[in-house]
Structure 1
Amino acid sequence: MKVFDWYRAAAPAERRTFWGCFSGWTLDSFDNQVLAFLLPTLMAAWHFSRTEAGLIATSSLLAAAIGGWVSGILSDRHGRVRVLTGSIIWFTAFSIFAGLANSYHQLLVVRALQGLGFGAEWAVGAALMAEVINPAHRGKALGLVQSGFSVGWALAAVITGVLVAYLPSSIAWRSAFWVGVIPALVVLLIRRYIPEPELFREMKKATGGATVATWRSSLRKDVRRSSLLAALLVTGLQGSSYAIMIWLPTMLVQVRHLPASSVAVMAAMMSVGSFIGQVSFAYLNDSLGRRITAIAFCLCSVFLTGLYLLIPMDAWLLAILGLPVGISINGSFAGIGPMLSELFPTQIRTTCMGFSYNVGKSLGALSVALVGAVAEHIGLLGSIALFCFVGYFCALLALAFLPETGGRDLASIPSSEDPYDPEDFLKQASPIRR
């Protein structure tokens, strides 16, 4: 099939990098989403409130923001593959500790520490893939890597649903955390055979190995505008997505009054839709451009999310509508990696991507806790809808000012040492060369 021609034409190193990044992002998503499906069980066992449940999820996401920013700086200094390998070891170890927790506060601390490892996976992995793949296929490759999120989400829904259904509750939730050790070993094996990108090695050689990236690099004059707009874009998309994804199982159980088995089916349908959306976005990304595709997906998300949350419907209608909702709310994430990687120079690429993505992620993560708090006053459905709509407004505002970057040559993105104004470059997106 022609849709896979880009993969067949890829070099062995490109293919290994693709599967290493895809499997890493799948594992990251699995470990992150397991908590969402365990919240109803844990809330019943340890008797904590929705606000406290939101705090657990938010603490992990905020820690991921810090970890992602620091990992981006380390990646620009020491290499992409080395930092990614360390992140897998870190969050897998704390997944084991999470399964050993015996109280709400223990789990809160462990998940926060685990979040430090989650943060590295996206920005560093996206930069690694972007620097390896052919520019004409960058949108497809990074978008398909992003679809690993949906695979991890589906695995979390299915595995957690089976464990909760067939094991005693005191053992089921612990087992769900521990299962992630198995795929982590596979990911580490794959990454052993992935080299550092040639573009990164050439940059290090050209600079004599000098350290350029610091915590201030993402606010440097030539990249500040792009960093802040990208952060706003991620804030909107993450805030909307997390508001519905993290609270979906709780909403279906406590508001729609569905059994746990049905919740797993609903989540699986939405995750299938998410996968379809990310794959579709990946291909549209290269053919139509980054901005127009993202804007279209955001507008569809506003409409479909409103239908899903605010109109009463039977369980089978919820399941059917979950597919297009999943397509729209998570499909747009397939475009973030290509767009952000094409905004920043190689010397500080993962530093800026880590800043933009994780500042946006941390601000977006606040919606998780705020949904729980606001739900006490306007109800859970209204609270989720409110934060979804505000999030998409922020994303559309950022997209209105970000440039089209499709097909940009990463090696030609200027740094502050260049004799011409980088702002001029940002206004001129080079066309895709086929």
Structure 2
Amino acid sequence: MDTVGGQGAAAESGAVEIRDASLTAFYKSMTGPERHTFWACTAGWCLDGMDFMIYPLVIGTIISLWKVDPGTAGLAATVTLLASALGGWIAGFVADRIGRVLTLQITILWFSFFSLLCAFVQNFEQLLVARAILGLGFGGEWAAGAVLIGETIRAEYRGRAVGSVQSGWAVGWGLAVLSQAILFSLLPPESAWRWMFAVGALPALLVFYLRRHVKEPEVAARTRAAAVAAGDRPKIWEIFSGPILGTTLLASLAAAGCQGGYYAITTWVPRFLTTERHLSIVSSTGYLAALIVGSFTGYLVGAWLADRLGRRPLFLIFSVGAIAVIVAYTQLPLSNGILWVLGFPLGFFASGYFSGMGAFLTELYPTRLRGSGQGFCYNFGRGVGALFPALVGYLSERVGLASAIALFAAVAYGMFFLAAFALPETRGRVLHADT
């Protein structure tokens, strides 16, 4: 059975030394099944990121076409994330009962279908409902995929492998921005935004690859078989009992802080550039490109640091860096040229810490509860973080958009710093089957 570690964490016994600390060491030593799982999860997270980032990119068009105020427009992002919190918890629990791979397939088909449905809505109320239902699959995809890759990769490479998968989000973000630049150049805004949502249905194609090439992790399959044989299936409330409760509370707080800051920035920076910096949608593409390149670099560096320094040092360094850069980006009287340069460190610090989150949450829980624990904590963070886009939108009407972004981002990253400081280090922890 899995043992319980410090700070109330349900830790897997044993740890391994990180022998080769280079970023690409994990990939060079992968087996065929590991590589299939790696690329499937990377593609899934890439397309997940593309799908989610479509709405922030068309939010200005929605505001103009349907005459909604910024707070109400931000509400659509909020309800998507709130629904994803519930979807992630449910998917994590389901993954512990029916398997990681099957759950991943179901969630991808779910959010792909409802992204396509968003292209056909006739008013903001219909869009709000469609985005909320889409959120169930959006949250579930991360819960199933993060556990799948975390259990497939060996302990000494887990931080870099899972972190590199996380970098797929920046690629997806880039694809969304590229789609925006192309579609809004070729089509009028009244129809371009609909085609953006139609592009968000592409992740459905990934299911064919999953069915053919990706297998269930052995550690999860053995644990689930043993639980069925013993009649001891995991219960959805089990992560809130005994010594595991403390881990669940702190990990949920950390996830809320890191995601609240990220969503406050990424939901509203495109709008900040077009309103307060007076850039057109197409001309703002270069500024978003700097942010995305910084984000992608941050994911890769964060993946390397997660194994090199540990999960907690990564979180502490990047949370402080994110606060410093977002305050400078929004509050200092900078020229547009300097703002473009500052986009790189903003993307770097506001994204790179995510590279450690998947591996960290995987290592905090025993195998029989890993999907439930990881799915709940990360997606509880999404639920709380979901409030930030709407709150930024409402507050912006009183203090201005730049100040609202800076305030909520600083509060969120401060919360992330404190929670990460209180949690244990898990680098190199070996995962075992509950038998």
Q: Which TM class, normalised by the smaller chain length? A: over 0.9
RMSD: 1.5
Question: Which residue in the other structure is 1:429 paired with?
Answer: none
Q: What TM-score results when the alignment is normalised by the length of structure 2? A: 0.92
User: Can you give the 5+ residue segments of structure 2 that lack an aligned partner in the other structure?
Assistant: 1-19
For residue 3 of structure 1, report the CA deviation from its aligned partner. 3.7
Kindly, what percent of the aligned residue pairs are identical? Answer: 40
Question: 1:79·1:196 contact (CA, 8 Å) conserved in 2?
Answer: yes
1:193-204 equivalences in 2 (<5 Å):
193-204=213-224
In the TM superposition, what whole-angstrom CA distance separates every residue of 1:173-231 from its partner, at most 9, and x where no partner exists?
A: 11111113334314542453100000011112322354532321221212111111111
Give the match's secondary structure for 1:411: coil
Does 247-256 or 183-192 show the bigger shift?
Answer: 183-192
Question: 1:91·1:116 contact (CA, 8 Å) conserved in 2?
Answer: yes
Q: 4+ runs of 1 displaced by more than 6 Å?
A: none
Distance 1:186 1:207, change over 3 A: closer
Question: Which residue in the other structure is 1:404 paired with?
Answer: 425
Question: Which residue in the other structure is 1:65 paired with?
Answer: 85
Question: Which residue in the other structure is 1:30 paired with?
Answer: 50
Cα separation, 2, equivalents of 1:183 and 1:120: 14
In the TM superposition, what whole-angstrom CA distance separates every residue of 1:347-389 from its partner, at most 9, and x where no partner exists?
A: 0101011111111110011011100111111111111110011
Question: 1:88·1:188 contact (CA, 8 Å) conserved in 2?
Answer: no
**Mapped pair 1:302 → 2:323:** yes
Question: Which residue in the other structure is 1:352 paired with?
Answer: 373
Question: 1:23·1:187 contact (CA, 8 Å) conserved in 2?
Answer: no
1:24-103 equivalences in 2 (<5 Å):
24-103=44-123
For residue 152 of structure 1, report the CA deviation from its aligned partner. 0.7
Question: Which residue in the other structure is 1:105 paired with?
Answer: 125
In the TM superposition, what whole-angstrom CA distance separates every residue of 1:16-41 from its partner, at most 9, and x where no partner exists?
A: 00011110111111110000000111
Q: What TM-score results when the alignment is normalised by the length of structure 1? A: 0.93
Question: 2:109·2:207 contact (CA, 8 Å) conserved in 1?
Answer: no
Cα separation, 2, equivalents of 1:139 and 1:83: 23
For residue 4 of structure 1, report the CA deviation from its aligned partner. 2.3
1:406-421 equivalences in 2 (<5 Å):
406-411=427-432
Q: What one-letter code is carried by the residue in structure 1 that aligns with 2:269?
A: L
In the TM superposition, what whole-angstrom CA distance separates every residue of 1:60-101 from its partner, at most 9, and x where no partner exists?
A: 000000100100110000000000000110001001110001
**Mapped pair 1:256 → 2:277:** yes
**Mapped pair 1:276 → 2:289:** no
Question: 1:20·1:187 contact (CA, 8 Å) conserved in 2?
Answer: no
Q: What one-letter code is carried by the residue in structure 2 that aligns with 1:26?
A: C
Cα separation, 2, equivalents of 1:129 and 1:189: 15
Cα separation, 1, equivalents of 2:407 and 2:95: 37
**Mapped pair 1:157 → 2:165:** no
Looking at both structures, which has the greater relative contact order when contacts are Cα pairs under 8 Å and sequence separation is at least 6? 2
Residue in structure 2 matching 1:232, options 237, 253, 267: 253
Distance 1:183 1:115, change over 3 A: closer
The count of residues paired between Structure 1 and Structure 2 equals 414
Question: 2:393·2:401 contact (CA, 8 Å) conserved in 1?
Answer: yes
In the TM superposition, what whole-angstrom CA distance separates every residue of 1:39-62 from its partner, at most 9, and x where no partner exists?
A: 111111111000111111101000
1:374-393 equivalences in 2 (<5 Å):
374-393=395-414
Give the match's secondary structure for 1:62: helix
